[in-house]
Structure 1
Amino acid sequence: MDNIRTVSDTKRKFYGYHTQPINSIYRRFVEELLVEMHLLSVNIDFSYDPIYALGVVTSFQRFMQGYSPESDKPSIFNALCQAVDGSSEKYHQEAEAILNEAKGLSIVDFKDKLTHVTDNQVGEGVLWGTFGAIAANPKFKYSRLLAIGLYTLLMEIDSDLLKDEEKRTETIKEVSEALKFSPEKLRKDLDLYRSNLDKMQQLLTVIEDSLEADRKKRASTEGKTSAEVVEQTETPETQQSENNV
């Protein structure tokens, strides 16, 4: 029997692929996402699917906003995927494909098809094939990242619906019942996700305000320094000459 990869093994792989330091503000998020992906990858009941991939991609994109240097972000995401024996290209391609399928749906069509997801009558495509596989698997391993993928799909179909708490709760319940996992768990995970996004946005605003204040302070200091230099270069002879004039 093969030895199960440990968290330490996965972290070593990650830092072997991405060798640059990670911005301290974002380091906790990156490592928590890495551990979450690791724990799922070694779980016997977990199976990768495009909705999970969309959750990973969306989570990374939303929580890595403002990361500097921007050019390091592809390397970090690639390292996250490779550390759990995945492919960043596959994650992106399948996330985009399933999101594109959702774009052509209304919320009414989506809910109607979802109620028949196990009937093999909802049409072809990655989206409904994935939903069907989830609903038909009694040992399906639910995850927070899958919940984020579902939320992203719903946002693409009808973002206004999710702004209404009552309608959002109702939709989450319908999705959970169709896919056969706990609506309470899904609701709590999505509430936490939304809350964390708000906190991250607030943090980015504080950082940007701080940087702007620092830029203004430097500009003011440089202006004063320039004036002092000019004043200091005026010799007594120059000042006397000006007085004579």
Structure 2
Amino acid sequence: MKTVSDSKRAFYASYPRPINSVYRRVIEELLVEMHLLSVNADFKLDPIYYLGIVTSFERLMQGYQPESDKEQIFNALCTSTDSDPETYKSQAGALLSIAKDKSTDELVDWLSNPTAENDSSHIVEPIKAIATNDNFKYSRPFAIGIYTLLEECDHELVQDQEKRNQVLDTIAENFGISGEKMKKDLELYRSNLEKMGELLKVIEDVLEASRKKRAKRAEEKQAKEAKEADEVKEATAE
């Protein structure tokens, strides 16, 4: 069986460049999570999981530089765990588009009995199968996928803990999974997003201070050179 070390080697072979230390932990945690699920006999890929992985990556990798490398890193994450990055993106996008025009109640109803919309049967069938799968393997990315769908429907609702938890309990009951586990995972996810936001603010403040310092040094150098030039002119005139 493929090991975590095998997946890590595959990832760094696919993306051999150094990863900024702030984000390395994010990547390695995602990689380990994706690997452990990929080798679990009960785990089945589904669009909600895909959306959770894509969203986790996008949110927790905000501010990564160079920005152009993010797609290569995501692709390496998927291929190193024997998955297709385009499938992740396309199914996540298709599921999110279904949620876009629904109210929260409509989304909860749809998740409990999904119906195909605009040739989306490839999205619907795996979600239908979850409720009837006695061995369904719940995962943290699945919870994040649910959270992302709710956020798409009603951003204010996900900020209200009581209302959010009521909806999560209903969805969890419909899927036959633990509402407490899902809520706990999402609290951790929200906390991680908050910490990343704070960290990015610190980084931006440091960069701004550095830019100001460089600008000040440049101004001082320019002023010094102008003064020296004036002194030379005065000496020549004498």
TM range (shorter): over 0.9
SS of 1:33's equivalent in the other structure is: helix
Residue of 24, 30, 33 corresponding to 1:33:
30
Which position in structure 2 is the counterpart of 1:134? 130
1:82 paired to 2:79: yes
Q: Do the aligned partners of residues 100 and 206 (structure 1) sit closer, same or farther apart at CA in structure 2, a change above 3 Å counting?
A: same
Which position in structure 2 is the counterpart of 1:43? 40
* One-letter amino acid matched to 1:66: G
| CA distance in structure 1 between the aligned counterparts of 2:109 and 2:137, rounded to whole angstroms | 24
* One-letter amino acid matched to 2:69: D
1:227 paired to 2:237: no
Which position in structure 2 is the counterpart of 1:169? 165
| CA distance in structure 2 between the aligned counterparts of 1:38 and 1:133, rounded to whole angstroms | 22
Which position in structure 2 is the counterpart of 1:148? 144
Q: Please say if residues 47 and 127 of structure 2, whose CA atoms lie closer than 8 Å, have aligned partners that are also in contact.
A: no
Q: Do the aligned partners of residues 53 and 112 (structure 1) sit closer, same or farther apart at CA in structure 2, a change above 3 Å counting?
A: closer
Can you list the C-alpha shifts for 1:135-190, whole angstroms capped at 9, x where unaligned? 11000000001111111011111222112111111001101100011111000000
Which position in structure 2 is the counterpart of 1:57? 54
Q: Do the aligned partners of residues 89 and 236 (structure 1) sit closer, same or farther apart at CA in structure 2, a change above 3 Å counting?
A: closer
Q: Please say if residues 104 and 154 of structure 2, whose CA atoms lie closer than 8 Å, have aligned partners that are also in contact.
A: yes
Unaligned runs of 5+ in 2: none
1:210 paired to 2:206: yes
Following superposition, the deviation at residue 112 of structure 1 comes to 3.2
* One-letter amino acid matched to 2:101: G
* One-letter amino acid matched to 2:40: N
Which position in structure 1 is the counterpart of 2:115? 123
Following superposition, the deviation at residue 123 of structure 1 comes to 2.5
Following superposition, the deviation at residue 128 of structure 1 comes to 4.3
Q: Do the aligned partners of residues 109 and 127 (structure 1) sit closer, same or farther apart at CA in structure 2, a change above 3 Å counting?
A: farther
Which position in structure 2 is the counterpart of 1:23? 20
TM-score by length of 2: 0.93
TM-score by length of 1: 0.90
1:6 paired to 2:3: yes
Q: Please say if residues 161 and 168 of structure 1, whose CA atoms lie closer than 8 Å, have aligned partners that are also in contact.
A: yes
| CA distance in structure 2 between the aligned counterparts of 1:7 and 1:101, rounded to whole angstroms | 34
More displaced, 218-227 or 229-238?
Answer: 229-238
| CA distance in structure 1 between the aligned counterparts of 2:14 and 2:232, rounded to whole angstroms | 64
| CA distance in structure 1 between the aligned counterparts of 2:131 and 2:109, rounded to whole angstroms | 15
Can you list the C-alpha shifts for 1:86-144, whole angstroms capped at 9, x where unaligned? 111111001001111111221122233445x3xxxx53245543332111100000000
Q: Please say if residues 98 and 126 of structure 1, whose CA atoms lie closer than 8 Å, have aligned partners that are also in contact.
A: no
Following superposition, the deviation at residue 52 of structure 1 comes to 0.5
What percent of counterpart residues are identical? 51
